[in-house]
Amino acid sequence: MHRLEGRRILLGISGGIAAYKSAILVRELHRAGAQVRVVMTRAARAFVAPLTLQTLSGNVVHSELLDPTREAAMGHIELARWADVVLVAPATADFIARLAHGLADDLLSTLCLASSAPLAMAPAMNREMWRHPATQQNVRTLSLRGGYVWGPAEGDQACGEFGPGRMLEPDELLERIAGFWRQGPLSGVRALITAGPTREPIDPVRYISNRSSGKMGYALAAAVRELGATVTLISGPTSLMPPAGVERIEVNTALEMREQVLSRAAVCGLFVAAAAVSDYRAEQLAGHKIKKGVSRWQLALVRNPDILAEVAALPNHPFTVGFAAETHDLERNAEGKRRSKGLDMIAANLVGKGPGGFDADDNAVTLYWEGGKKDLSLRDKPSLAREIAALIAEHYDAKYTAQDPGSPSG
Ligand code: CTP
């Protein structure tokens, strides 16, 4: 059986050059066994011919809101109900803005409003348009409402520039769509994971950071994904590639990480804080490079907010898992942190002695939860991550699914 056999995908195409990749996506979805119905905006028709998409999907392409012949075949409300998932790819800046404001002035935007199926979008636009605060605000609004924003990727753009704004490739989009039906103990759960270090700038060329490589957080993102969750990884600077099927948001500072986490935490069922967040940042950011002068220089630092504790304190907070790096008294310190931050679980490891930990390929942790603990001995981080993810899934299930079907599965 094909992996998307019988799944009903409504693919919305808005008007951008990346629309040509949507033709490949339609073909791949069709090959994977999905039923695909394509809805195009008017502008999209200037980039790719409806006949191409009709041939590849095996279904008529819909465009007009008030087309009597099409409405007779399958009305717009029927189409909205038909879909198991709505994916808009490419989603232009204009289309994202219209969705964020709830406009329903063409068939595709009306369908997005009328459908109760999960709504995903794959943005594609010039990098400046993507970075514009208006677009960023609109994307945040849609994420907060529970929409999935996949990408954009960074790279060469059709306009000749380089930066974020490329639509994700069709195989990656297919992977993400398939994720909605991946069977596993965390199927249907939206997970948010932080990873890597943060960088706290001092002046335009200097920053405070730490030696975290991000390997543990990335391995956890992959492991939680393997168990069926839909994963968003909020990552500080690392040299790692995001795991397949995982949405990655890149940040630099603790404050940026906090903003990205808090804008999503309320719609997530699971939060794992694996990032080595800098506890302090420079009180003042110098506008230009600080020159050497005095022989003794004191840098004033201020505390960064504790992202993990903030998420754990949210009303309807997700299942929260923290990490603790300790040099001594592992159990007392880790359990103290778990209790004071109000966490469901904490993964603690001894640092400073022996192998493992920061920047290494291997690690050993002890997981603590209310009334229990488990030692996971030294092993490579991907294997360790799978063990941790399995334990998280077990406890997640015990906390919500078994007792309360209305779990915050996101
Ligand atoms: N954390 C966070 N936001 C911060 C600091 C930490 O989300 N500003 C998270 C980390 O991702 C990790 C856990 O909190 O999951 C670590 O807690 P912390 O109290 O900082 O412990 P340590 O890093 O072990 O440091 P310390 O013992 O100095 O408190």
Which of 181, 212, 239 terminates a domain? The answer is 181
Reported confidence tier of residue 159, pLDDT bands at 50, 70, 90: confident
Nearest to 26 by CA among 40, 11, 16, 15: 11
Do residues 187 and 178 make contact, with C-beta atoms less than 8 angstroms apart? no
Specify whether 86 is located in the same domain as 223: no
The answer to whether residue 353 scores a pLDDT higher than 60 is yes
Specify whether 90 is located in the same domain as 233: no
Residue 80 sits in a domain whose CATH number is 3.40.50.1950
In a domain, 409, yes or no: no
Q: Check if 275 has its Cβ closer than 6 Å to any atom of ligand 1.
A: yes
Instruction: Pick the catalytic residue from 43, 104, 114, 159.
Output: 159
Owning domain of residue 73:
8-181
Specify whether 253 is located in the same domain as 280: yes
Query: What pLDDT shows up at residue 51?
Result: 96
Reported confidence tier of residue 405, pLDDT bands at 50, 70, 90: very low
In a domain, 232, yes or no: yes
Q: Check if 277 has its Cβ closer than 6 Å to any atom of ligand 1.
A: yes
Q: Which two tokens stand for residue 129?
A: 């348009």
Specify whether 244 is located in the same domain as 285: yes
Q: Check if 304 has its Cβ closer than 6 Å to any atom of ligand 1.
A: yes
The answer to whether residue 218 scores a pLDDT higher than 90 is yes
Specify whether 38 is located in the same domain as 65: yes
Record the pTM.
0.78
Q: Which two tokens stand for residue 230?
A: 């839909």
Reported confidence tier of residue 402, pLDDT bands at 50, 70, 90: low
In a domain, 29, yes or no: yes
Specify whether 357 is located in the same domain as 315: yes
DSSP state of 46: G
The 10s digit of each residue's pLDDT in 241-262 is 888 788 999 999 999 999 999 9
Residue of minimum CA distance from atom 12 in ligand 1: 323
Mean pLDDT of the chain: 91
Reported confidence tier of residue 132, pLDDT bands at 50, 70, 90: very high
Least confident of 140-144, 267-271, 295-299: 140-144
The answer to whether residue 29 scores a pLDDT higher than 60 is yes
Compute, in angstroms, the gap from residue 276 CA to the centroid of ligand 1.
7
Q: Is 112 known to be catalytic?
A: no
In a domain, 407, yes or no: no
Alpha-carbon span 387 to 365, nearest angstrom: 10
Reported confidence tier of residue 158, pLDDT bands at 50, 70, 90: confident
Specify whether 164 is located in the same domain as 286: no
Specify whether 211 is located in the same domain as 266: yes
In a domain, 229, yes or no: yes
The 10s digit of each residue's pLDDT in 314-339 is 999 999 999 999 989 999 999 999 99
Q: Which two tokens stand for residue 304?
A: 């960064």
The residue with greater pLDDT, 65 or 8, is: 8
Between the alpha carbon of residue 106 and those of residues 36, 98, 110, 301, 354, the distances in Å are 20, 10, 6, 52, 62
In a domain, 130, yes or no: yes
Alpha-carbon span 298 to 300, nearest angstrom: 6
Q: Which residue has the tokens 């232009």?
A: 92
Which of 128, 158, 181 terminates a domain? The answer is 181
Alpha-carbon span 381 to 373, nearest angstrom: 19
Specify whether 200 is located in the same domain as 271: yes
The answer to whether residue 22 scores a pLDDT higher than 80 is yes
In a domain, 120, yes or no: yes
* Atom in ligand 1 nearest the alpha carbon of residue 261: 7
Residue of minimum CA distance from atom 21 in ligand 1: 324
Specify whether 319 is located in the same domain as 206: yes
Q: Check if 273 has its Cβ closer than 6 Å to any atom of ligand 1.
A: yes
In a domain, 406, yes or no: no
Total domain count, the chain? 2
Specify whether 344 is located in the same domain as 374: yes
* Those residues with Cβ within 8 angstroms of residue 352's Cβ, 6 or more apart along the chain or in another chain: 327
Residue 332 sits in a domain whose CATH number is 3.40.50.10300
Reported confidence tier of residue 83, pLDDT bands at 50, 70, 90: very high
Dihedral sign for Cα atoms in the order 138, 140, 142, 144: negative
The 10s digit of each residue's pLDDT in 220-246 is 999 999 899 999 999 999 999 888 788
Q: Check if 279 has its Cβ closer than 6 Å to any atom of ligand 1.
A: yes
Do residues 251 and 198 make contact, with C-beta atoms less than 8 angstroms apart? yes
Specify whether 104 is located in the same domain as 19: yes
Q: Check if 323 has its Cβ closer than 6 Å to any atom of ligand 1.
A: yes
* % pLDDT > 70, the chain: 94
Q: Which two tokens stand for residue 270?
A: 């699971």
Residue of minimum CA distance from atom 4 in ligand 1: 306
Compute, in angstroms, the gap from residue 247 CA to the centroid of ligand 1.
23
Reported confidence tier of residue 31, pLDDT bands at 50, 70, 90: very high
Do residues 109 and 98 make contact, with C-beta atoms less than 8 angstroms apart? yes
Which of 181, 211, 226 terminates a domain? The answer is 181
Q: Which residue has the tokens 């404050």?
A: 255
